Amino acid sequence: MNDYAQSAPTPHPTNAHPARVYNVWLGGKDHYLVDQEAAELAAQANPTIVPSVRANRAFLGRAVRHLAASGVRQFLDIGTGIPAADNTHEVAQRAVPESRVVYVDNDPIVLSHARALLVSGPQGQTDYVQADARDVDTILDAASRTLDFEQPVGLMLVAILQYIKDAEDPWDITRRLLDRLAPGSHLVLSHPAADVTSTEVAESMRIYNERAASHASATPRTREEVERFCDGLEILDPGVVTLTRWRPGPTDASDDSLPMWCAVARKA
C-alpha cells in the first residue's frame, strides 16, 4: 500500500481514474488502491504499457521542444495528468522562458497537485482549468484568459482521446478545439493503438475498463482512425508513427512494439 492510499480522505474512489492510473505507471504515489489495482492488472496483461507511458512522456518533450523552436509560445494541455518530470510548461519555458501554458483536467485531485507543483518561471505564465475534454466551450473560454488565440497555440492531446467514445465523436471535439486557434497552431497527439500488439492491448483495456467509471473507459484506435484527428492539417514528418519513431534523438531507443500512435500536425 502506498503512502497516498494510507492517508487519503475517506470515502476512497470506487473507480479508477486515468490520471491516477497513469501516475502508477510512471512510478508515482499520488493515487488510490483502486487505481493501483487497475494499473497493475492492465500491465500484467500488456507488459508494453509501462515502457509506452515513459516513451509517451519522452515524445511530449520532443514535440514541445520542436514547437518552441518553431515559434510557438503558448500551449493548451488537455488531460494534464498528475505532475511528473518534464511537464509541458517546464519543457517549453526551458526553451522559451516567456511561454504560457494552460493545463486542463477533470479530476480535482490532479488540479490541486498542478496548482501546487506546476509553477511557472517568472517570465512565463501557467493557469489551470477544471473541465472535461468534451466541454470545448468551457475549456476555450477559460483558456482565453491566459492564451491569445490570435497567436499560434500548441494543442496537446497526449494520451487523452482514447477516453472519448466513438459515439461522442472525438474527431469533432478535436476539430472544434482547433477551429478557435490561429493559423500556425499545432496539434500534438498520442493514442493507444488497436493495430499494434492488438491482443494484449485489447485485454489490458478490458481490465482497465472494468475498473474505471463509464465516462473514463478507454478505446484503442487504428492508425487510420488516429490520422483522422489530423484532417485538414499538415502532418509533419515522419507522419503518424509509433512513439519512438517521432524524431528520436541520438540516444533514444527505437521500439516498434510499443502500441501507441503519435503525430504532430500544423494548422495552415
pLDDT tens digits, residue range 158-215?
999 999 999 999 999 999 999 999 999 999 999 999 988 667 776 776 776 676 665 6
Q: Which of 174, 235, 29, 226 is nearest to 39 (CA)?
A: 29
Instruction: Tell me the mean pLDDT in the region 108-132.
Output: 84
Between 9 and 171, the more confident residue is 171
74-91 confidence digits (pLDDT tens):
999 999 877 677 889 999
What band does 250 get if pLDDT is binned at 50, 70 and 90? confident
pLDDT score for 114: 78
Percentage of the chain lying above the pLDDT 90 cut? 56
- pTM (predicted TM-score): 0.83
Confidence of residue 17 (pLDDT cuts 50, 70, 90): low
- The answer to whether residue 105 scores a pLDDT higher than 60 is yes
Structural domain of residue 154, as residue ranges?
A: 3-266
- CATH number, domain with residue 243: 3.40.50.150
Asked whether the predicted pLDDT for residue 224 surpasses 70, the reply is: yes
pLDDT digits (tens, 9 = 90+) for 27-51: 776 667 877 777 777 777 767 777 8
The identity of residue 268, as a single letter, is A
The string of DSSP letters for the chain reads --HHHHHSPSSPPSSB-HHHHHHHHTT---S-HHHHHHHHHHHHH-TTHHHHHHHHHHHHHHHHHHHHHTT--EEEEES--S--SS-HHHHHHHH-TT-EEEEEES-HHHHHHHHHH-PPPTTSEEEEEE--TT-HHHHHHHHTTT--TTS--EEEEES-GGGS-GGG-HHHHHHHHHHTSPTT-EEEEEEEBSSSSHHHHHHHHHHHHHHB-GGG----B-HHHHHGGGTTSEEPTT-SEEGGGSS--TT----TTS-EEEEEEE--
pLDDT bin (cut points 50, 70, 90) of residue 4 is very low
Number of domains in the chain: 1
5 has a pLDDT exceeding 50: no
Please, what is the average pLDDT of the chain?
Answer: 86
72-81, 213-222, 247-256: which range is least confident on average? 213-222
Measuring CA to CA, how many Å separate 86 from each of 61, 65, 187, 199? 7, 11, 19, 31
